[in-house]
Structure 1
């Protein structure tokens, strides 16, 4: 609701005017008494109801609000200057302001702050100050500090009227502090520790101070076994302010008042706490450090943990600056045979990628519902053989490619509050074009903080303008064929970030010997974002190639009752029982750490300190 918005009043405000739709305009003025120019993105939202702020409703789903967006001028909006948005301004899902029908709408204006980065690679780029709020997690953040917005109010909208409709951005999202370190208690606890280090590599790249922060879960018996050294597991995934490796860690059982998924989440958080801190149970003989990492970037809530021309050397920074600090501080073994990684979705891609790109540094990767691990199936697009990302290649037909089907099922519960599977009907809920158009409206030059934009930033080369080179034409206003794939950029993606291609290319050159038995991949048969497709491409290569050495890992495409799992399937229960995603998503540690421990023990070098295995 509007009253729940995290904001404070602001004397700095824009006046936003929607002029008569005889010539539809949005006029944004910075008051003359403002001390400094403002750089960022102006957005205007329309929805059918003010029950929820329109600015929070813009999505890929059918319930999305309408949005229009335009940048402030280069150098910022100076005091007294205005920005005009007219009927030619890009909109989503309706393309133009002039196409909005007469009626009553809830309207709201927003300013999303950007800043200039004088990067160490010699380019200056203007990008969001942040894509996250400090207290958010798992892709849900609210607006970053500094975001300005107007009240949401119902407006009678008449395209034929010359009357202006004005908005004032009277509220500003203030600093939303974290709950207090990785534990959320304001201080580290016996179990959860916070590690923060200034990254020289990242600070030099971005031209500003960049810290990496990690949350570390210590194993049972850490203090009682002072001579033990421990394996380390990285739980990759979206930005989380608190320690959450795929199942929270909480000593508190659910309260009687909790219902639905909140009850399930609290129940399994308490299960993990009890099992992890017990001398018996699933973690006996599998004592390890478990690490989550906070690495938001100006493009997204997460860097993707690799070295990238646009995002920076996050792979090197994590591997060569952060991990040694953690292992030194908490008695990590510090050798590749005693490290593992897991994650789902974004974290699944990261787990797969770091195992492939750093094959000597990890000895097990549990990969769930990964973002596209090969671009022969970049969702529903083969960027190498097909010509257009938005429409299937055809001489006469023009069929839009689906980008999303059905719904995410990770928090699905039945009417009685029990975990459920959802219904994978295979119905398209958003096309690739719609999803990318939304991001174009929210921020041009890969600056929307959205999913397709971060893929483009991570996987692609730097463009001539200093921003990520477009993988295809995303601007429908001309200058290129809408949706046409840039084959030069695609070739760069292939050689640098197509993980299946890299394995095919280098398997017999020594990479196979370093990866055999390490990669274990799980995806639902009906993944919401078509992530099934790339895993099937991997499966086909493994099944139809006489690999030497063998692939050696597991590839599982999940089904239940003959139906494919939706996003984000991470395998069945440890005993093989089929269970909904709402349960298995809580069990990453319980499922995968014991499997990692078995492999570490089987491949440990002679003379290794194995005390972690003894209790």
Structure 2
């Protein structure tokens, strides 16, 4: 979960996407155009990408606040294809709201809704790279370069100069020019992240590791890297191979500013923690004496990926075998490099929010590798409540049956009253300005990419219409392998035997006032695992009135680390309750890459498709009723059918659904076919033709 909380009310008019069909009050611009050209020499060749155009309040930096809960910016996005130095891109108002080829804006869809005023205006181009992955799918995506994958102004992006403009409310043209490129951070060696080998500068106790992943590189058809920041305990000696240490693997977002084991603390607190850790002594307090710091190696993974600032640390059909890259390539490299204890009991997963989901998923899918997880306020563990969406039963992700909007971000005032800061609709529409086809590098889109399979268009098969919120149950069905409570229950007493093998190894914490309603998924997870394993099968802590953030169970950092240390000691071979080898056998392993790509990759997407088919074979007489199916299509594809004789329409086109059986009584001779045309946002419109039937006398 990478969404900053701001204590601000929702931008006025932000609901207009749904309440008024996407249009707030229109102003008499007649025609407001923004024309954007490219300075010579900035592009090496024709470039695909996403242009984001922002109008910020007068006197403010357009990048100062782009958050969905607080930004006063007017944000518009448009895809470009084969953009060259001599091309000009025009942003216009009107009603062309196609999310693939037109302009889409937030908080109001059209430029026509911009009130007359003075604005600071600037545009950014996120460049896409077209790749064909090993399963045959071809996508155009942005590959992050050590910048944490921001949704705008990423490393290598083109940007225009910021200009102050008076929007007058009549016919007007604003001219901008891409004239500069966003520089990346400088690293020891070369660029970091998804680009080239390189790293941050090491210190005595803080080391950085980065490797080329063979598995990811093969999937993406280009060099791909994963890395880690490693904090060594005081007294660590590389030459002392007899002294070995357990490892705490921290999951979470791109750790750019707080070193190797950030926990989300302010920098000053991190420095205090790091100093104590390096000295090997926990500072005393008014009630406790100074004591030795835990002797553990602390590792934070770095795995920014196409679609987000991290990969969610599992194998997925849209991002590739990141789980294998981390667990089967990076961790063995770390264990060859540092003096670690190579046993599950001494490998602990921990994290919060996104990292909370990653840490628990890593243990659930890899009981053979990790001993336990300490997961704090994790992303949705059970999709009966995906945040506050009842995903398996609701018809719409944005609006409930009673007409109320589904909330997404909240806070509580001093009186304990819930204040909604953003709805699911507001966030999803905001994301659309930064990218279509789940490419915004924002929260809901990465869930589509991680939890879902590939669509027939090669991009993530989205679970609902991004504009209207209509849920596609058939698409949601493909999320079930990533529904962690469903996965546990489904593998409770089969060959994986997770009911026995995971018992006592899962620790989850959340507060009842979680900013993103993540407590609801935890409650569902607890309910379903308790139903099969008995109360307390998983150690779940739900603390009243605690918001999103902090350490596990809201513990002070040293108390938390000592909790982890004690778990490791207790489950060591000579501990109170040793972790048995039988619960960490190879059969417990899940999320196998071969199964993931077979179920969700390009070939699976193609196999889901099918042309329309006339059931009657051979010849029929004029006046004889003919029946047909309309074929198989991806969820959400809008279908129109038309009967055709000898290649010419014999009736008007009519709407159909995939499950429909249609019938027709031909009135003249010829070769009869059913043609069905399918259309969907971000899909190529396609007409599929049935087999032919001869109609005669």
What TM bracket, shorter-length normalisation?
A: 0.7 to 0.9
Structure 1 counterpart of 2:482 = 497
Residue among 208, 222, 231 paired with 2:236:
222
Residue among 478, 486, 499 paired with 1:512:
499
Q: Secondary structure at the match of 2:254?
A: coil
State the distance in 1 between where 2:154 and 2:565 align. Answer: 34
Is structure 2 residue 104 aligned with structure 1 residue 83? no
Deviates more, 1:370-379 or 1:142-151: 142-151
Is structure 2 residue 255 aligned with structure 1 residue 246? no
Superimposed CA distance per residue, residues 57-109 of structure 1 (whole angstroms, 9 cap, x where no aligned partner): 22211334110000112xx2123223222223211111211111111222212
Structure 2 counterpart of 1:254 = none
Shift in CA distance, 185/91, structure 1 to aligned 2, threshold 3 Å: closer
Shift in CA distance, 422/65, structure 1 to aligned 2, threshold 3 Å: farther
Residue among 155, 159, 168 paired with 1:158:
168
Structure 1 counterpart of 2:677 = none
Listed as ranges, the matches of 1:347-366 within 5 Å are 347-366=355-374
State the distance in 1 between where 2:35 and 2:415 align. Answer: 45
State the distance in 2 between where 1:351 and 1:177 align. Answer: 30
Is structure 2 residue 144 aligned with structure 1 residue 172? no
Is structure 2 residue 49 aligned with structure 1 residue 49? no
> Between Structure 1 and Structure 2, which shows a larger proportion of strand residues?
2
State the distance in 1 between where 2:129 and 2:211 align. Answer: 23
Shift in CA distance, 542/47, structure 1 to aligned 2, threshold 3 Å: same
Listed as ranges, the matches of 1:281-292 within 5 Å are 286-292=294-300
Structure 1 counterpart of 2:223 = 209
Superimposed CA distance per residue, residues 406-445 of structure 1 (whole angstroms, 9 cap, x where no aligned partner): 28xxxxxxxxxxxxx9886321111101101111111001
The answer as to whether partners of 2:282 and 2:291 remain within 8 angstroms in 1 is no
Residue among 301, 317, 330 paired with 1:309:
317
Q: Secondary structure at the match of 1:164?
A: strand
State the distance in 2 between where 1:217 and 1:27 align. Answer: 50
Deviation at 1:37, TM superposition (A): 2.1
Q: Gapped runs of 5+ residues in structure 1?
A: 1-19, 250-260, 408-420, 477-481, 575-583, 608-615
Structure 1 counterpart of 2:662 = none
Structure 2 counterpart of 1:566 = 547
Is structure 2 residue 384 aligned with structure 1 residue 399? no
Q: Gapped runs of 5+ residues in structure 2?
A: 1-27, 97-102, 284-288, 582-697
State the distance in 1 between where 2:554 and 2:423 align. Answer: 33
State the distance in 1 between where 2:499 and 2:409 align. Answer: 34
Superimposed CA distance per residue, residues 360-419 of structure 1 (whole angstroms, 9 cap, x where no aligned partner): 21111000010111111101112111111000024xxx2111011128xxxxxxxxxxxx
State the distance in 1 between where 2:559 and 2:130 align. Answer: 41
Deviation at 1:531, TM superposition (A): 0.6
State TM-score, norm by structure 1: 0.79
Structure 2 counterpart of 1:547 = 533
State the distance in 2 between where 1:424 and 1:129 align. Answer: 43
The answer as to whether partners of 1:339 and 1:363 remain within 8 angstroms in 2 is yes
Q: Secondary structure at the match of 1:72?
A: strand
The answer as to whether partners of 1:525 and 1:566 remain within 8 angstroms in 2 is yes
The structure, 1 or 2, with the larger RCO (C-alpha pairs under 8 Å, 6+ apart) is 1
State TM-score, norm by structure 2: 0.70
Shift in CA distance, 568/294, structure 1 to aligned 2, threshold 3 Å: same
The answer as to whether partners of 1:364 and 1:596 remain within 8 angstroms in 2 is no
Deviation at 1:605, TM superposition (A): 6.9
Is structure 2 residue 361 aligned with structure 1 residue 375? no
Superimposed CA distance per residue, residues 28-73 of structure 1 (whole angstroms, 9 cap, x where no aligned partner): 333566652232111111121333x213422211334110000112
Shift in CA distance, 179/47, structure 1 to aligned 2, threshold 3 Å: farther
Is structure 2 residue 43 aligned with structure 1 residue 29? no
Superimposed CA distance per residue, residues 178-203 of structure 1 (whole angstroms, 9 cap, x where no aligned partner): 47899x99643332222222111000
Structure 1 counterpart of 2:682 = none
Residue among 445, 452, 461 paired with 2:444:
452
State the distance in 2 between where 1:196 and 1:118 align. Answer: 24
